[in-house]
Amino acid sequence: MIVPRINLAADSYAENLKTLSLLPNQVLVVPTPNDSRLQDALKHQNKDAYWVQPLAFDAEDPLAQIHTLLDAGADKVVLPFAAFAAGVESYSHIPQERLAVELDPANFDKVNHLQNTVSVFLLKVDGSSESLEAVKKTAQAMPKDLLPRGGVKRVIAAFSGQGPTSTPETATISELGRLGIDTLLPGEALSSDQQKGKLNLGEAFMATVVSDRPDKLFPTVVVDEQGISLGLVYSSLESVVESFRTRKGVYFSRSRGLWHKGASSGATQDLIKVHVDCDSDALQFTVHQHGAGFCHNNIRGCFGFATGLAHLNQTLQSRKISAPAGSYTQRLFNDSNLVQSKIMEEAEELCQAKTPEDVAWEAADLIYFALVKCVANGVTLRDVEQQLENRSRKITRRPGNAKRKWDVSAKEGATTATAAPAPAATPAPASVAKSDRIAMKSYKMGALSAEDQRKLLLRPIIQSNDIMARVKPIVDGVRERGDAALQELTAKFDGVQLDKTVISAPFSPESMALDEKTRLAIDQAYDNIKKFHAAQLQDKALVVETMPGVVCTRFARPIERVGLYVPGGTAVLPSTALMLGIPAAVAGCSEIVIATPPRKDGSIVPEVMYVAHKVGASKVLMAGGAQAVAAMAYGTESCPKVDKICGPGNQYVTAAKMLTQIDSSSLVSIDMPAGPSELLVIADMTSIPAYVASDLLSQAEHGTDSQVVLVAVGLTPEHLTAIEDQVHEQASRLPRVDIVRESIPKSFIIQVDSMEQAMQFSNAYAPEHLILHLEHAEKHVESVNNAGSVFVGHWSPESCGDYASGTNHTLPTYGYARMYSGVNTDTFLKHITSQQLTRDGLDAIGDTVMRLAEIEGLEAHRNAVAVRIKDIRGQ
């Protein structure tokens, strides 16, 4: 069997699609999954089984794009081996028959690793005979087991179109076929005509088809678009080649030789698709039949008249063209209101039917009137079947609840059951009645569709466009008017009228006066955090001699001026000042500015002032929110401009950080985007309910937009209930219970059966904080790929990392842990590279540099080396 690969970015893709549409499968290569040409091809496919091969995926969420392609109608998605490098577990929810992999010769030994994940192995033939032999050897060694849902795994030799064996001859295709190997080749290498330099499409297709008959003919079953048999004929190699050329039904007749069906009677056939049976010794032609039918007896098929829906469809089609006088069907075609009324009437009667006989009767009535509407609007029965087939290809399942208008149970006062309630797409109401139980939503992984699971990964929605629109005038005001704007905004948002906006070091002792217990606590936290962050500092430069006489160096230098944002809001946060100030001081930043909102009396909390003193801050900016970020990004009369801004904050602070970062006039960078606090706990039966609940609440109390998640691994109903009871009981006793009442309903429990499922979900969620309440928890840390910070075991509450263990608590949220690290010493460093070449080193590398510069057309680059090489070589 041959499979063509069609590049949708090529100018000739539309012509290739049409020419090769007769084949059972085609691989469509696209730059990205969102390519409009692909969407159009999938939208208009008819009995096609397209395998889609994107050259690049969205790095943030490739699985979501794979789901979208499969839902859109792709029969399979072809992935590179690199997509499975992190493990096959991420693909376990996708049916095996919907995935294919393309392997380079270097990865042929990985086929066993993917045996239970993909159904098709495309083994690259790189242009050498050795790689073709490697394909044969790999295919012969593979197990010949069936797929879980039926069918067999396929091995395909993927020819690239480059190299000595770039396009195989039909003899090679035939040889591979005898070994059970299909052939993939560039679509442009095939032609339905006899073109020089191209393989004939019909001959290439028939290269793997065998005949055990003395006359070498091939039994051919002819079917219509619905798969209904029209008759049995025979084909020869010549007739198949002619069928591919003309796209008509052409067969072999003992009396006529080459037989163009319907050439004399007018009952011609448009060829739609050609298939080979599982033994490769018989053909199936799918055709659109014209005229009275296929049979010489002037009926549609040789096995008798059509029956059932096919017969009804034919009758309605003929009635539309020519109806007998007084025909009821003709009346329906002329009265759309009558059709609508009858459909509604019959649907109601079907709903009311009770006995099997009545259900069948009423269903027949409804189908009749539905088909009348279809035919009246030019819709064939095949069009309807195509819609059903498209839906069967979807892997994302919807709840499928009735619309409110038709929800019978709702009208009767009952609760409609749903297979898996989707998580809320919008934040919970602003307030919750205090008498309500404080409870998280709960889901079972096994009951969730892939789409429902994806929705659970989403955080409560933040309307970023609205926030940006509110933040921009604030940022612009501070940039243009400096301290005056800062004072006005502080009075507006914090209710404080300030005489000055900045406190400069040295700070007065009274501004940082603390009780002994608080001071000792801050000092111990300071020592632990400093010890851990100092250990991250690399004292020596990296020096590598890449080749004799060429030495490359990488060394770190501190970012000179940094701004640290310490939120105020609903809590006093000296810990954040420690987490930001200590690594900045360890890195050696020459100027540290701390921004934090003032209290109502215009002062800064002494705990933050004390930390500012300990980390060597030069100034404390008495401002919060977007205005503080703008002041540090652009500078004001009293606040120095900084080079980098770090620190957490609400959505307005985050928006201001991102807004100033993309403004080239500010020349400022940021640590990371940040969102509301979040935490994910993975707990098994060894977990202690009170500990689990306390950890969940430790983040839920941060703010109404916080989210916490419990991944319950094989917990019994009793154990899970104990945790839920503890959440309610402990939350009810908290001073910040009103905040928890709003954040907990936005949080959820997800019940899974295994640690593999738990880790898969956690890595997809990418939490800010991850707590492992597990037996032998330390063994599972190696499975963590995405998280801001991990807390291992029952005795490692997240609170310790927040305050004093030594790790940093300024961490990526909102899923950004997939690509961002938390704040660390390197956050406040920049790395510079240098290189030094000797005379001999330049002589050795000079030709390479000059050639590459010449290729890129940068003559001055080439010349800078050439003038030196001339002196070295005395030319």
Active centre residues (catalytic): 768-769
User: CA separation (Å) from 277 to 219, 252, 282, 723, 801?
Assistant: 10, 19, 6, 57, 63
Residue type, 677: S
Q: What is the dihedral sign for C-alpha 399, 459, 453, 719? A: negative
The pair phi, psi for residue 647, each rounded to 5°, is 130, 155
Q: Which residue has the tokens 């301290």?
A: 483
Q: Which residue has the tokens 């003032």?
A: 598
User: CA separation (Å) from 659 to 41, 385, 519, 728?
Assistant: 39, 51, 37, 40
Distance (Å, whole) CA 114 – CA 150: 17
Distance (Å, whole) CA 560 – CA 588: 8
> H-helix or E-strand containing 26?
strand 25-30
C-beta separation of 637 from 478 below 8 A? no
Residue type, 73: G
Distance (Å, whole) CA 683 – CA 698: 16
Which residue, among 608, 622, 605, has the nearest Cα to 504 in the 3D structure? 622
Q: Taking CA 569 as the corner, what is the angle to CA 566 and CA 570, rounded to the nearest 5 degrees? A: 120
DSSP code, position 186:
E
Which residue, among 533, 528, 576, has the nearest Cα to 804 in the 3D structure? 528
Distance (Å, whole) CA 503 – CA 720: 51
Distance (Å, whole) CA 230 – CA 109: 46
Distance (Å, whole) CA 11 – CA 251: 34
Distance (Å, whole) CA 500 – CA 490: 11
DSSP code, position 422:
P
The 3-class SS string of 549-561 reads CEEEEEEEEECCE
CB under 8 Å to 830, separation ≥6 — which residues? Answer: 556, 557, 558, 559
Q: How many residues are given for the chain?
A: 875
Residue type, 758: A
313-322 long-range contacts, CB within 8 A, separation 24+: 313/371, 313/375, 313/380, 313/381, 316/371, 316/372, 316/375, 317/375, 317/380, 320/375, 320/376
The number of CA neighbours under 13 Å toward the Cβ of 681 is 32
Distance (Å, whole) CA 435 – CA 808: 38
Q: Map residue 402 onto helix, strand or coil.
A: coil
Distance (Å, whole) CA 233 – CA 251: 7
C-beta separation of 771 from 788 below 8 A? no
Distance (Å, whole) CA 769 – CA 646: 19
Distance (Å, whole) CA 301 – CA 309: 15
**Max Cα–Cα distance, the chain, nearest Å:** 113
C-beta separation of 803 from 722 below 8 A? no
Paired residues of 269 in beta bridges: 289
